[in-house]
Amino acid sequence: MKLQIHSGKFLVNTTKSNYYTLRKLSKIISLVINPLVVAPFTFGLIIYNDQTLISKNLIFSVSILFTNILPLLTIFYYRKIGKLSEFDAPLREQRIELLVIAAMYNAVGFIFLEYLGASLIVKGLMFCYAINTAVVWRITRYWKISIHMVGIGGPIIALWFSGFQYPILMGAIVILVGLARILLRAHTPAQVITGTVLAMGLAYIELKLLFL
């Protein structure tokens, strides 16, 4: 009888340990593969592999400024003044204003890229960020769609159009981040799937019809 009790406790402790390990791993995945990291990484790959661009450093700097630096500074400011409970804005209501500001940053970034003569795919990606962020803002007013998945889906389409066609790797990243967001209970499966499909669908239509 005592052996059974000890065995049961061992199984419970093991299960809890595995669960906490998975949660820690999910937090790391969510931190490393998040929209503010994915954006400069995607722009960097596209810009520095484009042999037709001349002012690569300048165009890349503009891209980083409007998709990473300014949004990140805004998040830090909102956290400092108490408008965010956490840096990742876990509450739906806390995301609404930030999404509006991010969409404006992206729109201004698109104007700068147009002025600098960036390639169509680079301008198109920034355009996707502006429009898709605005769409996500509209949805977030009523439903907490996954921004992580939106931030992955669009760039994957842009990378695919740029010649980075690695379906297994890209699919693995989508699944990995999606599972991480669900395991952390940040989103439901429906919110994760919708974010992915919406971002990929919008990016494909926008890039194909307007830029490529």
pLDDT, one tens digit per residue, over 185-195 is 999 999 999 99
Mean pLDDT in residue range 7-17: 52
Task: For 46-59, write each residue's pLDDT tens digit.
Answer: 999 998 888 999 99
pLDDT score, position 53 = 83
pLDDT score, position 10 = 40
- How many CB atoms lie under 10 A from the CB of residue 51? 6
- Please answer whether residues 87 and 97 qualify as being in contact, where contact means their C-beta atoms are separated by less than 8 angstroms: no
- State the chain's mean pLDDT as an integer: 91
- Please answer whether residues 190 and 181 qualify as being in contact, where contact means their C-beta atoms are separated by less than 8 angstroms: no
CA angle (62, 126, 74) in 5-degree steps: 65
Q: Is the pLDDT of residue 8 over 60?
A: no
pLDDT score, position 16 = 67
